[in-house]
Structure 1
Amino acid sequence: MQHIHCYCPQSWDKALFDRVAVLMQQLRPQYPTETLSALLAQQVDDGYKMVLAQNAQHQIVGIAGYVLGHKLAWGHYLYIDDLVVDEHHRGQRVGQALLDFCQSLATQHHCDSLHLDSGSQRHRAHKFYLGQGMHISSFHFTQAVNQP
């Protein structure tokens, strides 16, 4: 098993956004990498944070994008918006390292809970999350608005 180092970058530049966008495209293939890079920069400006997982060769092999917040239903929470592991590094405990790091962040920020949504078609991801002690607490419903 390779050593994985997880961290939250203290500062961002275009080169780092571009590197992250290449990997994020594996989760969000509907966006070109240039668009993803710009969208990630916008989200960071709006309070979105990212945990990066690097291997010993300093390659970014996983990302967890999250926000902190408070809701009546959840109390103070950490919500993982995006969790992606490079397809060539799956099964190497990168996802576990990212989730463990996010759980540690939730504890540090005195959160009551940690949440994420996973697409209904992502059966391998569901098996992973359940194996990490998470449970399915609800169904997430959505409706498009202001679209033709």
Structure 2
Amino acid sequence: MNIRKAELKDAGAIRILMEQLGYPTEEGFMTKKLESFSDRTDHRDLVCELEGEVLGFISIHFIPQIAFEADYAVISYFVVDDDSRSLGIGKALEEHCTALAVERKCKRIMVHSNARRTDAHRFYLRQGFVEYPKDFVKFL
């Protein structure tokens, strides 16, 4: 199992994973997004490979806080291939992101998970997350 920074060559595999998560995109969109994020220090897109095949993806952002000494991290997208669950890929990706957040001296990691993703909720609880409701969204 190999976790590494996502590269442009991974765009097709990431697109398939994002479609499994419920985010269909047009051809070329993922390449453009990966290019636009490649030099940012407040954002990381990571993939997990198993036997050379990208089977997991996670996107994490590091958010500075003016009212607190420590920043926090937000996982915005996190998916493991439907046919590759329970192989430790999600655990490895989450733990890698936790290590990055600790390295950056973050005090918490937040993740939003749709109410219908009950399997994901159980995973997050196993990984030490606690439910922290309530989110509000304003769509623009």
TM (norm. structure 1) is: 0.80
1:81 corresponds to: 76
- Describe the superposition over 1:24-82 as per-residue Cα deviations: whole angstroms up to 9, x where unpaired: 22224332343233234334455531121111x11111011011112347941121110
CA–CA distance in structure 1, aligned partners of residues 116 and 32 of structure 2? 27
Q: Secondary structure at the match of 2:73?
A: strand
Aligned-partner residue type, residue 50 of structure 1? D
1:29 corresponds to: 23
Q: Percent identity, please.
A: 22
CA–CA distance in structure 2, aligned partners of residues 34 and 7 of structure 1? 21
Indicate conservation of the 8 Å contact 1:25/1:32, yes or no. no
Stretch of structure 1 that moved more, 16-25 or 39-48: 39-48
Q: CA 1:138–1:126 in structure 2 vs 1: closer, same or farther (change >3 Å)?
A: same
Indicate conservation of the 8 Å contact 2:70/2:105, yes or no. no
Stretch of structure 1 that moved more, 31-40 or 103-112: 31-40
Q: CA 1:115–1:38 in structure 2 vs 1: closer, same or farther (change >3 Å)?
A: same
Aligned CA-pair RMSD: 2.2
Indicate conservation of the 8 Å contact 1:66/1:80, yes or no. yes
Aligned-partner residue type, residue 4 of structure 2? Y
Could you list the runs of 5+ residues in structure 2 that have no partner in the other structure? none
Q: CA 1:107–1:77 in structure 2 vs 1: closer, same or farther (change >3 Å)?
A: same
2:2 corresponds to: 5
Aligned-partner residue type, residue 6 of structure 1? I
Q: How many residues align structurally?
A: 138
2:61 corresponds to: 67
Q: CA 1:93–1:38 in structure 2 vs 1: closer, same or farther (change >3 Å)?
A: same
Q: Does 1:140 align with 2:128?
A: no
Could you list the runs of 5+ residues in structure 1 that have no partner in the other structure? none
